[in-house]
Amino acid sequence: MRSRKVQVMVISFFIMWTFITYYVLLRTSNTQLSRKQQQQMKRLVPEALAEQSKGLKLTRNLIEFLKFKYPNDQQTTTPRISIVAAEISNEIPAPESVAKVTPETMQKSTPAQIPTLTHLANGEPVIPILVFACNRVSVVKCLDNLVQYRPSVEQFPIIVSQDCGDVQTKEAIQTFGKQLTLIEQPDLSDIVVLPKEKKFKGYYKISRHYGWALNTTFQIGFEFVVIVEDDLNVAPDFFEYFLATHKLLKQDPSLWCVSAWNDNGKANVVDTARPDLLYRTDFFPGLGWMLTKELWRELSVKWPKSFWDDWIRHPEQRKDRVCIRPEISRTRTFGKIGVSNGLFFDKYLKHIKLSEDFVQFSKIDLSYLLKDNYDTAFLKQVYVLPLVTFDELRRNLIALEGPVRIQYNNRDQYKRITRMLGLMDDFKVRFTEIGANTTSLTLLIYLQSGVPRTAYHGIVSFYYNKRRVHLAPNANWRGYDLSWS
């Protein structure tokens, strides 16, 4: 208590000194000054400000000395993490004395209940499932699935990160007791945006939440984290899928994520007889995906204020890296209501097939997914296939059995074919901010990636009329055209 009194006295002295200084300046400004006096004042003001800055620094040093000299034994329960979330979203400028926020440099208190075991006794990594929740009580459907299919509580701890502060949702999560860990995003402050961006405010809060939760989780020391949204159901082999594929992320630097989602995973365009089939894709699928601590270290220092999923698809972030995705999705969304207001839900998402089979991926040789192996086999295979038209495919006029290829040569042709096939035809154009500033206002531009959903080297693979079909550009393909977005 003695140190606190001394601190109050010191601070009160400097406050009083500041008021006296301003009072004198105000009195001086009301009198008629000569030109010479005005020039002297102009020279003195910067010096006075500099001295004031020195005084403030001296105050801080004095307070730190008093804290050391007279330590306070009382413990505080106030979390010291709200400024971290604010800095992630760039809502306030980071003070010069505060280091850049990264998983390594964050000096904040970690919720004690998060499991700290990062590797099992046999050396296998612990892979936490990080579930993002807000104000949907239906998160229990997602959690029921995860708890039901989880093979090991120790290897796959479930961490639910809640934003929004919704009491009913929190109570629903807490009904799972020790089967999971609940952490709460501490910065629930409003986010100031331009008037025309108000309808996007939810995306700003989501991005802030993701940044905080991933920092909080990765700082424990985990090598991998699997991200799950609160409106996802998972397949029986969801955990097995990630357990078998996490090694690929370490072996192949051209891989940067493993996703459980197939954007073109509607039941009528997937091969239900091949639940074991996996692909490489240039498009970032999301919706149940795994990343490494190295990737988060790279992304966290430039994490965007909004639309993180579209931002991550941009060439500047992707850097020609790819994801693994399944033939049949290991997740399916039931969340028609959300910040996207059910975008694509009725037309596409509700028709996505969720795998019902349990594939023992850990017993399958997945080395065919490594870049050198995959490119050699897959690209050669596609461009020697018979070339057919959509009409021939639709009317089942192809005499030969087996896979075929349909060629597209421009954007309009691609979109026309995909629409006729019932595939997703968009290239993910959305708004995002650019540049860094010290205010909460942002500049919006179109975000372009030019990558069709599920594409690899421009090739979109699907199943139609009981045969494998590859919608592919010509063999002289030179890369994605950003103008297609």
Amino acid at 287: L
- 226 by Cβ neighbours in 10 Å (0-12 / 13-18 / 19+) ranks as buried
The active-site residue, picked from 187, 230, 252, 309, is 309
C-beta separation of 113 from 181 below 8 A: yes
Report how far residue 299's alpha carbon sits from residue 134's, in angstroms, rounded to the nearest whole number: 23
Q: Which of 36, 60, 268, 229 is nearest to 146 (CA)?
A: 229
C-alpha torsion sign, points 212, 217, 222, 224: negative
C-beta separation of 335 from 230 below 8 A: yes
Report how far residue 295's alpha carbon sits from residue 250's, in angstroms, rounded to the nearest whole number: 11
DSSP state at residue 355: P
DSSP string, 82-144: HHHHHHHTTSSPPPTTSPPP-TTT---PPPTTS----B-TTSPBP--EEEEESS-TTHHHHHH
C-beta separation of 169 from 139 below 8 A: yes
CA angle 355, 360, 363 (to 5 degrees): 150
Neighbours of 126 (CB within 10 A): 20
Report how far residue 200's alpha carbon sits from residue 193's, in angstroms, rounded to the nearest whole number: 9
φ, ψ of residue 129 in degrees (nearest 5) = -100, 110
Q: The tokens 């004031």 sit on which residue?
A: 52
Told to judge if 230 belongs to the known catalytic residues of this protein, a careful annotator would answer no
Instruction: Report the residue count for the chain.
Output: 485
Report how far residue 478's alpha carbon sits from residue 485's, in angstroms, rounded to the nearest whole number: 16
φ, ψ of residue 459 in degrees (nearest 5) = -95, 125
DSSP string, 205-250: HHHHHHHHHHHHHHTTT-SEEEEEETTEEE-TTHHHHHHHHHHHHH
Q: The tokens 């029921």 sit on which residue?
A: 144
Give the three-state DSSP class for 439: coil
Report how far residue 142's alpha carbon sits from residue 210's, in angstroms, rounded to the nearest whole number: 18
Q: Which of 137, 189, 180 is nearest to 161 (CA)?
A: 180
Report how far residue 291's alpha carbon sits from residue 270's, in angstroms, rounded to the nearest whole number: 26
Report how far residue 166's alpha carbon sits from residue 157's, in angstroms, rounded to the nearest whole number: 23
Residues annotated as catalytic (active site), given as ranges: 309
